[in-house]
Every structure is written in C-alpha cells, then in structure tokens.
Amino acid sequence: MGIWSDETPVSHSIHDVEQWVLLLTRDLHTLSNKLLPILVFTDLGARRSQDPKIQEYFEKIHRSAAQAREIVTKLRTLCEEQHPLPDGRENLQENTRLISRGKEGESQ
C-alpha cells in the first residue's frame, strides 16, 4: 500500500526524493555559477564608473547577487547534509546522467 494517491510504495518515493535532491543540487550549482559573472561585472562596473549614481546601481545589483548566492550556498549545503552524494561532488554530472537515463526507461 502506497502513501500517495497513485499507490506509490514508500521505497519508491524515497528513491524519487533522492533523485530530486541530486537534480536540485545540480541546478543550485548551475545557479551559483550564473551569479558569478553578475558579481564580477557589477564590482568592475562600480569601480570603473565615474558617475556616483551608476556606481550606486552597480553596488545594489552586486549586493542582491551576493545575497542570492548566499541563499544558494545555504540550500546546497542543506541538500548535501541531508542527502550526501555517494561519489562526491565531482561525480554529480554522472549521477544526473544515470538518473535521466533511468527516467527515460520508466517512460517507455
């Protein structure tokens, strides 16, 4: 007897949670990487700009991106503490590929 309306067994739902956490961790890593150029270029823009108002705009954007990156880092840490990757962070891409392959097999 399952815990969901579609009668999914508990063991299957735990596996789904682990897959979800792996994918979330990957996406959080990607998001963190997307924030890096924002941080770098807003810092550069603030330093190079002669206009105080433009400097202020760059600084606001930089602070917001830094806060977003802190949130992403906290979420990644939480995911990794709750569900550590079996082979370490360097194998995340391989784990994600295997999960995707498994989902393709389920849909056939």
Residue among 43, 31, 107 nearest 76 (CA): 31
Q: What is this structure's pTM?
A: 0.61
Give CA separation, 1 vs 6, 19, 54, in Å. Answer: 10, 22, 61
Is the alpha carbon torsion for 40, 44, 47, 49 positive or negative?
A: negative
Question: Percent of the chain, pLDDT > 90?
Answer: 44
The pLDDT of residue 20 is 81
Helices (H) and strands (E) in the chain, counts: 3, 0
